[in-house]
Structures are given as structure tokens and as C-alpha cells.
DNA sequence: GTCTATATTTCGATAGAC
DNA sequence: GTCTATCGAAATATAGAC
């Protein structure tokens, strides 16, 4: 087995452990919030001594900040599907699909985001005011164009966006409540039905068909 | 000024202080979650020494439980409007109105509920399985009847209910995000517009008009 | 880069005088 | 019923040997 340069090996180890810690942290922060999460619990879940967490992330807040930022990146990517679409049926349909997939694959990330916003966004307030606002403005323009072209009813674009966020994220953030009423976890078919229901109701609701 | 019997006076004092504490607790629990909230902070906000909180509510969990239960009562009341309605336009329209009013008047209560559910409902799991499930079953039946009577499109009733909860509660739970994008708090007109938008999109979405 | 032991702070809860 | 003082537990963070 060939030896790697020491610095490169260290970088690999660092990357590996950071990933372990971030995965554990996302889960713990999602289920307990920032205040309820403990470094000990995250360390146990990552299978590392607590002191090692502080080696990689000096403070609890540094770790939390990284978790929130990573989530935000995923969220922004979901919007790409909406942009080159010819109209709302394809564009908003694809956006709902992407957001429902994220709720399914990253339920903990969605919850951490919800915690952060409910906490008045102490960590990501600047992102809200810059990146998210710019993103929103762009999509409002897109929706306004579709309305002007007669491709959908004249709904308020902002409130449509809020409805899209609310309905799709609800399946992640309130997943426990839904699973309780459903008497068990969602199957593939359940997710398909949920996604179809959301698409149908919203697309009809905005007069896209 | 007439003297009251000692026991009656004590009851009055108790009721007054409990209200003070519960109001402060709702706010603190909403903004920090159970783990992030501290008895000291609640005491300061209520204007009482910390020890007095433990006099009225022996443990932090007792206090939290009361806050969550009080919220649950308000939620259930909102459903009354839906029941004696002749059809979905009146029934679901009134339910949206009631839920939007709650989001406006009790934003902190909504957040505490969201925290609790995201926390996997350690305190109100039994309510979910009994009261909420029974409530949901009843409303599913009602919606199925409206569908059978041709008063709305054949949507999935459960997913319609999730959409109603998600969209209306979003204005409370994610109020900070919305206000940031809105560059300020909602005015009367903003709330009116939001409520109208939600009503229009959902009622059209379920084919009620 | 790892890990045990520990310093320091903060929190929930209580004791006990008033 | 109120309030100061404080206990004991638990949390964040660090020191220092390996």
C-alpha cells in the first residue's frame, strides 16, 4: 500500500470525521433544537470522544452554523428545475417534485431550518436578507411573466411561493404527526400519492390547467 | 374595600401569577424550544423570582406541558366553523379564516406546537393518537361526503387537510422569514391579502369553484 | 490527530427565613 | 405566597499526555 504524504492523509481524515460529525449533528439539532442538543450526544452518535468535536469545530455554534449553511445550499439547488421551464405546469410541477424529494431525503435538514427560522434566524439572518431575498425576487418576476402570458391565473406570486414552501416542507417538519395519523412511515406509494396530490391541488389552484 | 376570604384571595393570586408565567413561558418556549428555554428567562419575562415558578409549576416539564395543552385546545376550537357548513366553499373557507386568525393572534402557540411535533411529540403523543386522529377521521368523512355530492373535485382528503394546516401555520411558524422578505411586520391589509390568497388558491385547487 | 481528566459555567430544583 | 442563597447535576470547553 502506497504511503500518502502526511498532509494529504490528514486532510482525508479531517474530511471523513467532519462528515461523520455533521451527519450526527444534523440529526441531533433537528430533534432537539440548538439549545436542546448536547455535544456529548452528537459525539456519541458520531462514535467519537467529545473532545474531538471541539478539535474539528471549536464551538457548538460553529458546528451548528455549518449544518445550517449546508442545508441552505441544498435548498437553493432545488430551484434550478423551475427556471428553464416553458410554463407553470412544468416549472412549478418540477419545483414541487424537487422539494418533496428533499423533504423525503433530508427531513432533518428541513427541521433544522425550521428551528433556525423560528428562533428568529440568529445564524442565517444575513442569508435571508441577501441570497433568499434575491432568489425570491427572481421567482416572483418569473411568475409574473407567466401570468402576463396568460399561462396561469393572476395569483399573488409571494403567497404562491409561501404555499409551495409550506406544503412541501410540512411533510418533513411535521412528518411525525403525519406518520402518527398514517399509523406508520410513508411507503414509496404514499410519497407518490402525496406528491401527486400537492401538484394537482396547487396547479389547479393557480389556474395552470 | 371589602376583604375577601383568605382562600379566595389566594386563588385569585394563583390565577393571576399562573397567567403571567404561562404567557412568558409560551414566548420563551416558542423562541428557544424546550431545551433552549431556561426557567430564569421565563421568570425574568414574567417579572417573578425564579423560585416562584417552581412554586406554581414544580418542574420545567410541568410548565411546558400546560403550555402545549392550552394551545391544543385553541386548535380544536377552530374546527367548529367547518362543521355545519353546507359545502366546501363555506366550510373550508371558514376554516382557513379561523386558522389564519390563530396564526396572527397566537404565533407563539403555533411555534410551540411545531417544536413539540418536530421533537417527536414526547408530551402530546397520546393526544395525536386519540383526539387528533378522531378529529381527522371526522373531517375526512365530511370531505368525502362533499366529494360524493359533487361539490368539489375528488382530491385526497388527508392531503387536503395537511395542505390546510401547512399553509395557514406557515404564516406563524415562518413569520420571521416572511417578515424579512416583506421588509417588515404584516399590516392589516397584508393579513387580508394573505388570507384571500390562501382561500382563493386552495378553493380553486379543490375544484370548489 | 486522539483521548482522559478537569476547569468553569449554567441550569433545574430546593431549603428555609420572612 | 415571596424571595435569597445554594445545592447538585449537566453542559461547554480546555489542558495536556500520548
Looking at per-residue pLDDT, the higher value among B3 and B103 belongs to B103
Query: Residue A74: its pLDDT value, please?
Result: 92
Residue A130, CA atoms < 13 Å, CB-side half-sphere = 5
B4-44 pLDDT tens trace: 676 787 789 999 999 999 999 999 999 999 999 999 999 99
Instruction: Supply the DSSP symbol for B119.
Output: T
Per CB-CB distance under 8 Å, the chain A contacts of B176 are: 117-118, 120-121
Record the pTM: 0.95
For B120, which residue in chain A has the nearest alpha carbon? Answer: A176
Q: Which residues does A74 contact at the CB level (< 8 Å), separation at least 6?
A: A102, A106, A109
For A107, which residue in chain B has the nearest alpha carbon? Answer: B118
Query: Residue B187: its pLDDT value, please?
Result: 98
CB contact under 8 A, B204 and A202: no
Structural domains of chain B in order of their starting residue, each with its CATH number: 1-58 (1.10.10.60), 65-205 (1.10.357.10)
- pLDDT at residue B103 greater than cutoff 80: yes
Nucleotide nearest to A51 (CA to C1'): C3
CB contact under 8 A, B133 and A30: no
Q: Which residues touch strand C (CB under 7 A)?
A: A 10-11, 13-14, 17, 48-52, 55; B 37-40, 50-51, 54, 58-61
Q: With beta carbons less than 8 A apart as the criterion, state whether A31 and A24 touch.
A: no
Q: Output the furthest CA–CA distance in chain A (Å, rounded).
A: 66
Protein-proximal nucleotides of chain C (any atom < 7 Å from a CB):
1-5, 10-16
∠ CA(B33), CA(B34), CA(B38), 5° rounding?
A: 100
B167-200 pLDDT tens trace: 999 999 999 999 999 999 999 999 999 999 999 9
Residue A84, CA atoms < 13 Å, CB-side half-sphere = 2
Average pLDDT, chain B: 95
Interatomic CA distance for residues A204 and A202, integer angstroms: 5
Nucleotide nearest to A36 (CA to C1'): D11
Distances (CA, A) of B69 to A45, A69, B22, B206: 32, 34, 11, 32
Quick one: angle between helices A157-173 and B107-118, nearest 10?
A: 40
Protein-proximal nucleotides of chain D (any atom < 7 Å from a CB):
1-5, 10-16
B13 touches strand D (CB under 7 A): yes
pLDDT confidence band for A2 (50 / 70 / 90): low
Interatomic CA distance for residues B72 and B132, integer angstroms: 9
**How far off is chain B from A18, nearest CA to CA, in Å?**
25
For B200, which residue in chain A has the nearest alpha carbon? Answer: A205
Q: Which residues does B61 contact at the CB level (< 8 Å), separation at least 6?
A: B123
∠ CA(B92), CA(B98), CA(B102), 5° rounding?
A: 140
Nucleotide nearest to B9 (CA to C1'): D1
Q: Is B40 helix (H, G, I), strand (E, B) or coil?
A: helix
Q: Which three cell numbers stand for residue A132?
A: 433568499
Amino acid at each position: 500500500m502506497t504511503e500518502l504524504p502526511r498532509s494529504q492523509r490528514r486532510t482525508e481524515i479531517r474530511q471523513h470525521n467532519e462528515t461523520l460529525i455533521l451527519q450526527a449533528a444534523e440529526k441531533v439539532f433537528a430533534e432537539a433544537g440548538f439549545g436542546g442538543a448536547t455535544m456529548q450526544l452528537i459525539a456519541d452518535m458520531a462514535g467519537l470522544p467529545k473532545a474531538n468535536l471541539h478539535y474539528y469545530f471549536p464551538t457548538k455554534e460553529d458546528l451548528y452554523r455549518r449544518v445550517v449553511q449546508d442545508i441552505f445550499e441544498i435548498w437553493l439547488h432545488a430551484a434550478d428545475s423551475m427556471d428553464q421551464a416553458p410554463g407553470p405546469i412544468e416549472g412549478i410541477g418540477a419545483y414541487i417534485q424537487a422539494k418533496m424529494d428533499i423533504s423525503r431525503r433530508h427531513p432533518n435538514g428541513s427541521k433544522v431550518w425550521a428551528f433556525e427560522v423560528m428562533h428568529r434566524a440568529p445564524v442565517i439572518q444575513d442569508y435571508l436578507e441577501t441570497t433568499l431575498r434575491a432568489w425570491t425576487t427572481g421567482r416572483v418576476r418569473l411568475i409574473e411573466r407567466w401570468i402576463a402570458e396568460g399561462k396561469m391565473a393572476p395569483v399573488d406570486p409571494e403567497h404562491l411561493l409561501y404555499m409551495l414552501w409550506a406544503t412541501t416542507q410540512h411533510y418533513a417538519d411535521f412528518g411525525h404527526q403525519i406518520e402518527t395519523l398514517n399509523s406508520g412511515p410513508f411507503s414509496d406509494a404514499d410519497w407518490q400519492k402525496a406528491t401527486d396530490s400537492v401538484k394537482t391541488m396547487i396547479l389547479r389552484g393557480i389556474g395552470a390547467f
